[in-house]
Amino acid sequence: MTAAGAAVTTLYVNNAAGANCSDAGSGTKAVPYCHVTAAAAVVLPGQTVDIAGGTYNDSTLTVTRSGTEQAPITFRGPAYDVYNPGGSVTLSSAAPGRGIVVKGAQHIRFQDLLPQSTEAGLQRDAVVLDDAHDVSFTRVNPWNGGLRVTNGSSGVSFTQGRFAYSAGPVVRVDAGSTGTVLSTNVIRANSVEDTTGILVSDAPNTVIVSNTVESTCFPGITLKGASAGAVVENNVVDTAKWDAQACAAGAPDTGISLDAAAVAGSKVDYNVVSPASGGPAYGWGGATYTTQQAFTAATGQGAHDFVAVPNDLFKTKTSPIVDSADENAPGMVNGDAWGWPAADDPLVPNTGTGSGFRDRGAQEYMDFGSIFTPAGPTRLLDTRAAIGVPTAAPVAANGTVDLQVAGVGGVPATGVTAVTLNVTVTDPKEPGHLTVYPHGDEAPTASNLNWTAGTTIPNLVTVPVKDGKVSFANVSFGTAHVIADLAGYYSAKGSVFTAKGPSRLLDTRAPIGVPKAAPVAANGSIDLQVAGVAGVPATGVTAVTMNVTVTDPQQDGHLTVFPHGAQQPDASNLNWTAGTTVPNLVTVPVKDGKVSFANVSFGTTHVIADLAGYYSAEGKDTYHPIGPVRSMDTREYWRGESSERLAAPVPARGTLDLDYGDIPSVTSVTLNVTVTQPGGPGHLTVYPHGSAAPDASNLNWTTGQTIANQVVVPVKDGRVSFYNASDAPVHLVVDIFGYQAP
C-alpha cells in the first residue's frame, strides 16, 4: 500500500486477461484501469499514465485535463524498444473516431503509442491538437491517419513518429497555430486523393526538420499564407511515384514550397529533394525552380541542399543523405525515427555541422561496417610471461581466458568492432583446439587452431570485440600456453580493404619476388616489394594480407613478417619443426612499399606468399564482423541457402562450392578453414567461384593431420570454391568470422 500522505505518481492501465483491471478502482498496479480514457478522466498534474501493451478499443482518447509547466501529465506505453518503437500499445476507437484528441489542455506528454483513426472519409486524423499548448509526442506512430494541429494551438512537438498511408494531407498545421515542431518523422502518403505530406497554413514559426516525406505526385512540404519564420532543414522529400517514376504533366508535385507571405524570416537548407517526379523541386514566393543552383541563386536559400534521387541511400555510398545534416538546426532530437543513434559511415566524408555525421531525413543509415587500422605486430597475450593475464600459467584444460584489447597496444579504448590477432598455441599437453570469440558470448562450435600434443601452431584470427575484450577457449583435456600478437583493428577510421587474388607474390624456390631461387638464410631476412605488384596500387597502401607458407625448413624455427625498415619485433607468424610445410594468413603494415620476412631459425627455409588483398584509402567496402558461425562441415549433413549436401569428404582433386549469396552485396568473406581426416598429403586452394584454380595454397597438410588457417577470399556469383589439391579425399570445416560489403 502507498504510505499515508505519499503522492500517487503513476496510474496504471492494463486490459490483459488476468490483469484484474477495473475502471472503478484507482489505477494501481494491482488493480489497473481497463481503459485509457478512465485514467485520462482523473489524471492530475505530475502523474504518469502507464499503459501496458495491448489494444485499447476505447472511444476517442480525449484529453482535457492539464498539467503544469513544472509537472506535466504523461501518457506512455511500455519501455522503448528500437525494434518496435510505439508499436505495442494501440489506441483505437470502437466507433468511428480519432485515436488521440487534446482539447483545451496544456503541458501534456505522449510517448511510445500507436493511435489509430477509424473515421471514414478523406480527412482521417489519428491525432488532433485543438487549442492545445505545450504538448509533445515522442515515438507516437499514427496508424491509418494523420496529425492535425488546429484552433490556435501552440508549442506542439511531434518527433520520431511514423505515419502510415493516409488520405488527405498527412500533417496539417492550421491557421493561428504557432511554434509547431515536426522533427524526425517518416511521413508516407500514398493515395489517388490529395496526399500532401506536410501542409502548414497561416501558422508562423513552424519548425520542420529531419523528416522523410514521400507524397505520390502531390506536394511534399507546403507552407501557405502567413507562415513566416519557418525552418525547413534536413528533410528528405520525394514526390515521385514508386520506383522513382515521373508524375503526369501538371501534377501538383512540388517538393518544398513557400507562399509569398511565408518566406519572410524563413530558412530552407540542408534538404534533399528528389527530381524524379518531373515537377519543380521548389516553390518560393510564387516562382518555381527545378535545380538547387537556380533556387539558391534566386533566393539565397538552400545553399547546402541537393536535388537528387534519395533512393540510392541503400544502394550506393554516394547518397547526399549520409553524414551531411545540419545538427545545429532547431528541433533536432537524439536518434532517428527508430531510435537508432547517429552513426558515422567510415567511407563518406563528414560534411554536416556539429558532429558532422548526422544523416538527413528521419532514418539513420546503419548498414555499413568498419575499416582497418594496421598496428603492430605487438604482443597482447603471452600466458608464459604474464602478458595480458595476471599470472604466468597455461590455460587450464577446457578453460577460458579473457583478453582486454580495447585501449591496449594502440587499440582505441572505444569504437573497436574487431581485432586481427596472430594467435599461437604452444606446449599443449593433449590434443585439442582453440576457439577465439567475442567476450560474453557463449563459446561457439568453431575452431581457430587445432593441435596434437606438444606442437606449436599459429593462425591469424579476426574476431569481433565485445565489452572491449575477446575470449580464448582451450577445448582440450590438457593445458596449453597461448600467445596473441596484434596485427590491427577495425573501427570507424582507417583503411579500406580490397580483395585480390589469390596471386603469388613470393616464392623463393622459383624465383618469384626475389632475384634468384634460394632459401632464406638461417637467421636471415628478405624484403618483398608489394606496392605496384599483382594489382596492388603503387602508392597509398597501408597494409597487405597474404597467405604465407614456409616449406622445407632445415631446422625448427619461426617466421616473423613485419613492416620494411622497422625493427624486427618479438612476434611470430609461423612456427615449424624441421621438414614440415606450414601456412598462415598474415596481415602486415606496408612501409616504403615493402614488407620483410625474418627466418628465426638456425637452418634455411623456403618462403611462399600469396596475395589475398590490400588496405588503402580507396575503396567502397567495409568489414562486418559476425559470429563466428559454422558455414559447413563435410562430416555432417549440411544445407545452405541454395544447396544441400550429404556428409561426404571432398574427393581427391575435387572442388566444392560454398554459397554466400544470402549476404547482401558481399564482395569477400573472412573464413576459418579447417582440413581434417585427410587420406594423404596435399594442399587446399580457396578462390573466387568461376575462376580457374590459381597456383596458390591456403592450407598444407600431411596424412591424417588436422590443420586450420584463416582465409580471406573474394566472392564471385555469391560463391567461393575449395579445391582439394590432393590424391586423397579430405573433410573440410568452414566458419565465417565476417565479410566485406559496400
Which domain CATH number covers 502? Answer: 2.60.120
pLDDT beyond 50 at 312: yes
Which pLDDT score, from 0 to 100, does residue 445 have?
82
* Per-residue confidence (pLDDT) for residue 57, from 0 to 100: 87
Q: Domain span at residue 714?
A: 622-741
**How wide is the angle at C-alpha 534 spanned by C-alphas 531 and 538, nearest 5°?**
25
Question: Is the domain of 640 the same as that of 704?
Answer: yes
Tell me whether residue 477 is exposed, middle or buried, using C-beta atoms within 10 angstroms of its C-beta: 0 to 12, 13 to 18, 19 or more: exposed
Grid coordinates of 533: 605488384
> pLDDT digit string (tens) for 102-143?
999 999 999 999 998 876 554 578 999 999 999 999 999 987
Q: How far apart (Å, rounded) are the C-alpha atoms in residues 544 and 572?
A: 17
> Does the residue 303 lie in any domain?
no
Contacts of 482 (CB under 8 A, 6+ apart): 381, 382, 383, 394, 395, 401, 423, 424, 425, 426, 434, 472, 474
Average pLDDT over residues 150-168: 90
pLDDT-derived band of residue 269, with 50, 70 and 90 as boundaries? Answer: very high
How is residue 618 written as a grid cell?
580507396
Of 600, 616, 632, which marks where a domain is finished?
A: 616
Cell of 477: 583435456
Cell of 735: 566458419
Residues 468 and 539 in one domain: no
Alpha-carbon gap, residue 205 to 157, rounded angstroms: 12
Is the pLDDT confidence value at 9 over 80?
yes
* Tens-place pLDDT, residues 647-662: 889 999 999 999 998 8
Residue 545 lies in a domain: yes
- CA 46 from chain centre, in angstroms, equals 39
CB 187 within 8 A of CB 213: yes
Of the candidate ranges 1-15, 227-241, 719-733, the one whose mean pLDDT is the lowest: 1-15
The average pLDDT across 269-280 equals: 96
Instruction: Give strand ranges (E) for 146-255.
Output: 146-150, 154-159, 162-163, 171-173, 181-183, 186-189, 198-201, 207-209, 212-215, 221-224, 231-233, 236-238
**Nearest alpha carbon to residue 679 among 698, 654, 656:** 654
Residue 522 lies in a domain: yes
> pLDDT, tens digit, for every residue of 416-427?
999 999 999 999
What cell was used for 170?
Answer: 498527412
Residue in 238, 246, 244, 173 with CA at minimum distance from that of residue 212: 238
Asked if the model's pLDDT at residue 81 lies above 80, the reply is no
pLDDT at position 124, please?
73
Average model confidence (pLDDT) for the chain? 90
Neighbours of 116 (CB within 10 A): 24
The three-state secondary structure class of 357 is coil
Amino acid at 167: A
Report residue 524 as a C-alpha cell.
636471415
> What's the average model confidence in pLDDT over 536-557?
93
Comparing CA positions, the residue from 433, 403, 439 lying closest to residue 421 is 403
Let me know if residue 461 belongs to a domain.
Answer: yes
Work out the angle at residue 41's Cα, subtended by the Cα atoms of residues 35 and 43, and round it to the nearest 5 degrees: 100
**CA dist list (Å): 621 to 358, 364, 617, 666, 687:** 21, 19, 11, 9, 19
Q: Are both 466 and 375 inside the same structural domain?
A: yes
SS3 track for 451-471: ECCCCCEEEEEEEECECCEEE
Band of residue 1 on the pLDDT scale cut at 50, 70, 90 = very low
Q: Is the pLDDT of residue 641 over 60?
A: no
Number of helices followed by number of strands (H, E) in the chain: 2, 54
Distance between alpha carbon 549 and the CA centroid of its chain, in Å? 35
| Pairwise CA distance, residues 530 & 564, whole Å | 11
pLDDT category, 191, cuts 50, 70, 90? low
Report yes or no: 488 and 614 within 8 Å, Cβ to Cβ. no
Alpha carbon distance 72, 382 (integer Å)? 58
Listed range (73-82, 543-552, 559-568) with the worst mean pLDDT: 73-82
CB 156 within 8 A of CB 131: no
Do 649 and 700 fall within a single domain? yes
The answer on 508 and 416 residing in a single domain is no
pLDDT for residue 207: 98
Question: Does the pLDDT at position 513 exceed 50?
Answer: yes
Residue 662 covered by a domain: yes
pLDDT at 311: 65
CA distance 188 to 185: 10
Judge whether residue 144 has pLDDT over 90: no
Is 570 a residue whose pLDDT tops 90? no
Over range 387-396, report the average pLDDT. Answer: 96
Exposed/middle/buried for 664, CB within 10 Å: 0-12, 13-18, 19+?
exposed
Say whether pLDDT at 340 is over 50. yes
pLDDT of 314 higher than 60: no
Backbone angles phi, psi at 141, to 5 degrees: -115, 95
More confident position, 85 or 372: 372
**Residue 242 belongs to a domain:** no
Highest mean pLDDT among 311-325, 440-454, 461-475, 677-691: 461-475
Q: Which amino acid is at 94?
A: A
Number of domains in the chain: 3
Does one domain contain both 451 and 535? no
Of 110 and 6, the structure prediction assigns the larger pLDDT to 110
pLDDT class for 644, splitting at 50, 70, 90?
A: low
**How does 31-65 read in b/e, with b if 16+ C-beta sit within 10 Å?**
ebbbbbbbbbeebeebbbbbbbebebebebbbbeb
DSSP 227: -
Residues 533 and 434 in one domain: no
Q: 573 versus 266: which is more confidently predicted?
A: 266
Co-location of 583 and 511 in the same domain = yes
Which of the residue ranges 433-437, 615-619, 722-726 would you say has the lowest mean pLDDT? 615-619
Is the confidence at residue 346, as pLDDT, over 90? no
Judge if 612 and 631 occupy the same domain: no
- Where is the domain boundary, 446, 467, 491? 491
Maximum mean pLDDT: which of 93-102, 660-669, 723-732: 723-732
- Does residue 635 have a pLDDT over 70? yes
Same domain, yes or no: 602 and 711 = no
- Is the pLDDT at 632 greater than 90, yes or no? no
- 670 pairs with which residues across the strands? 712, 738
Cα separation, 605 vs 550, in Å, equals 7
Q: Which residues pair with 450 in a beta bridge?
A: 433
**Mean pLDDT score, 159-166:** 85
pLDDT band at 441 (very low <50, low <70, confident <90, very high): very high
C-alpha cell at 70: 513544472
Neighbour-count burial of 448, counting CB atoms closer than 10 A to its CB (0-12 exposed, 13-18 middle, 19+ buried) = buried
Whether residue 363 is predicted with pLDDT greater than 70 in this model: the reply is: yes
Residue 336 lies in a domain: no
Nearest to 337 by CA among 513, 213, 428: 213
Q: Are residues 608 and 526 in the same domain?
A: yes
Query: Which of 491, 513, 529 is where one domain is finished?
Result: 491
Does 203 have pLDDT greater than 90?
Answer: yes
The average pLDDT across 248-272 equals: 96
Query: What is the C-alpha separation between 141 and 144, in angstroms, rounded?
Result: 10
Q: Which whole number is the average pLDDT over 332-353? A: 90
pLDDT, tens digit (0-9, with 9 covering 90-100), for 477-492: 999 999 999 989 999 8
DSSP lists the bridge partners of residue 129 as 102, 149
pLDDT surpasses 70 at 5:
no
In a domain, 668, yes or no: yes
Among candidates 340, 323, 289, 316, which has minimal Cα distance to 81?
A: 340
Q: Please give the residue that has the higher pLDDT: either 600 or 166.
A: 600
Q: How high is the pLDDT of residue 316?
A: 57
Mean pLDDT score, 684-696: 86
Residue 555 shares a structural domain with residue 641: no
Q: Where does residue 692 rank: exposed (0-12), middle (13-18), buried (19+ CB within 10 A)?
A: exposed
Q: Which residue has the higher pLDDT, 158 or 685?
A: 158
User: Is it the case that residue 6 has pLDDT exceeding 80?
Assistant: no
pLDDT digits (tens, 9 = 90+) for 19-64: 999 999 899 999 999 999 999 999 999 999 999 999 998 888 999 9
